[in-house]
Structure 1
């Protein structure tokens, strides 16, 4: 294999049990492809390959670690007292025997004895996933009809960000898991879900603009729910793409200021009385931009999101003046018949959030003079 050639990835065996709409072999193929391997039907005769069995759920993070090893290493687990070969990164010479071992029933055959074994420890330390801002134990389990729901829960949990707002973290996970399964089983793609959410952005804005706050909030909350579903659907079905990521995050980034502007206009239309309406609008809009710039500055300076530095920073992420926390404020205000006061309180909370971020940046700069700034999730 040349330095520029991709490592070959081979899925061994079949598995008719489906997880997130994918049978075991197709799921394994997608994991290998997302890990940057060239998925082929058989190992090359003159180059190493990464082989993985189809009838187990093996976390992509583990396969990524296996890929980084030199050929001659096997990933194994113990199941019901029996050692099971899950995957291996092997030379061309070891591929036939390893293929045979992976194709045999779990525990029915052993890989070449000279392979170095990495034994998966279910009680071992979690892996820090920078992209999802979380620590997580890799998912490793047999894929059988009796384990599908457990595998679904585990892989869905693995797709979910730990450091996020309170609504996304505590309210959406259960319904989002069911919605993700429903979409996956019907072949609905993440971008289709994102497109519906995009349409709801305009529906919410129209409702706010016209002073129809209940209608606008209904559309807004459904949009935020779908914003959770599309990302989880992409990760669970291994269909995430650069375009989808930009499309989804672009909507998230651009839409909130337009909602707050429309809410302000709606308040004026219905004659909502509250102090300093124009100032409230500009504080919310300007504060939103400043908060985003502060987050970008922190990441540029310290190589991480501001919300994953310390545990307290992660807790503050639950309520910082982002889209969902401000929607909670506006929803409560609308229910109480005071939509204008919802805007005023949102402005005050935005100002507080900007102040907190300013303090966080100053503290991190001070700490860096003494020691490296490291995320508490990676310690």
Structure 2
């Protein structure tokens, strides 16, 4: 995708109208105007921050070179545009009265949506920098607090899958639809005790679940429907996989001694964990896994889909899928206890010191 096309999407998402290439002539009217060099790639949050900051002169953090400006009045457009195109420094007379600003100054260092620290990117786009720019954009689309498979195993293969999808014109919703097919395939195979094909389908689904979100973010094609579609699938399917696994054990002659009890612990524990997380947000205005470093670390292994699949895969390879589902039940119960303890600790901390703040905010 040309950098200018990506920039146009970012401007549209920031609520900026009348986006057009610079033609060298002063625009009609004297209202506010944004000028941005199209040979750079801008974090969408950075474009939004610039649009909300009249008088800002956006400079590259590595050398201070101005690359974009928000003019309160368009009557200065020609000299400012010429200075930006010529690559003049922030001290040039054309930029007089504008406030030199870094990406961090316009966006902050904490991304609330992705739950991570990190400066918004501003990258020079050229043939020799293309791959580095793509990798930085991909990294910028990743959530900071997630499970260890998503965080440490999927990034490299997902990067290449996202590049391929973007090049082929495959949309995030199409990827999500494919992952939904795999959800049902894994559910069927688990219920039949066909562990290996079921696990292959389940792992493929988790991989596509990583790809669709990253594809939407790097191409700026996310929609409310797509976000809802993806999150509803993520929210609903995991406990049904584990219940199907219990059914499959009976189908292959390995029934649990107390299948109803194990199923109730797994299903009820999953629902309880989600309710606990929602309660924490209501009480403390943040997600439970971003309060302290320990909470973020525990999120990597908590009894969610991917860590549970690791346990089930290991147990299956050892020939004991029954022990795998019992481990999932035990880990789910422990996760509920852990989150209850964290909620109680947060309540005590707030009583002693006021409103809580995430450690990721610095």
Unaligned runs of 5+ in 2: none
Deviation, structure 1 residue 158: 0.5
The 3-state SS of whatever aligns with 2:193 is coil
Is 2:261 aligned against 1:282? no
Asked whether 1:66 is paired with 2:50, we answer yes
The match for 2:360 is: 377
Corresponding residue number in structure 1 for 2:300: 318
Q: Is the 8 A contact 1:75 1:120 kept in 2?
A: yes
SS of equivalent to 2:75: coil
Instruction: Measure, in 2, the Cα distance between the counterparts of 1:217 and 1:315.
Output: 25
Q: 1:356 — aligned with what?
A: 338
SS in 2 for 1:283: helix
CA contact (8 A) 1:127 1:137 kept: yes
Residue 95 of structure 1 deviates from its aligned partner by: 2.2
Q: What aligned pairs does 1:217-228 form with structure 2 within 5 A after superposition?
A: 217-228=199-210
Task: Please tell me whether residue 45 in structure 1 is matched to residue 24 in structure 2.
Answer: no
Write the deviation string for residues 229-287 of structure 1: whole angstroms up to 9, x where unpaired: 00000001110111110000010001112111111110111111544322111100000
1:1-379 correspondence to structure 2 within 5 Å: 22-41=1-20, 43=27, 45-69=29-53, 71-77=54-60, 84-90=65-71, 91-102=73-84, 104-107=85-88, 112-120=94-102, 127-371=109-353, 372-379=355-362
> Structure 1 residues 226, 111: CA separation in 2 closer, same or farther (over 3 Å shift)?
farther
Deviations 1:284-337 (A, max 9, x none): 000000000000110111111100000000000001111111111111111111
- Segments of structure 1 that go 5 or more residues without pairing to the other structure are 1-21
Distance 2:4 2:330 in 1: 53
How well do the aligned residues superpose, as a CA RMSD in angstroms?
A: 2.2
1:31 Cα deviation (Å)?
1.2
Report if aligned partners of 1:74, 1:115 keep a CA contact under 8 Å in 2. no
SS at match of 2:35: strand
C-alpha separation in 1, matches of 2:180 and 2:160: 21
Which structure features the higher share of strand residues? 1
Query: Is contact 2:290–2:296 with CA below 8 Å preserved after alignment?
Result: yes
For normalisation by structure 1, the TM-score amounts to 0.88
Q: Distance in 2 between matches of 1:320 and 1:85?
A: 45
After superposition, the C-alpha distances for 1:66-113 in whole angstroms (9 at most, x for unaligned) are 2222x322112276x6x53211110122223223333x2434995723
More helix by share: 2
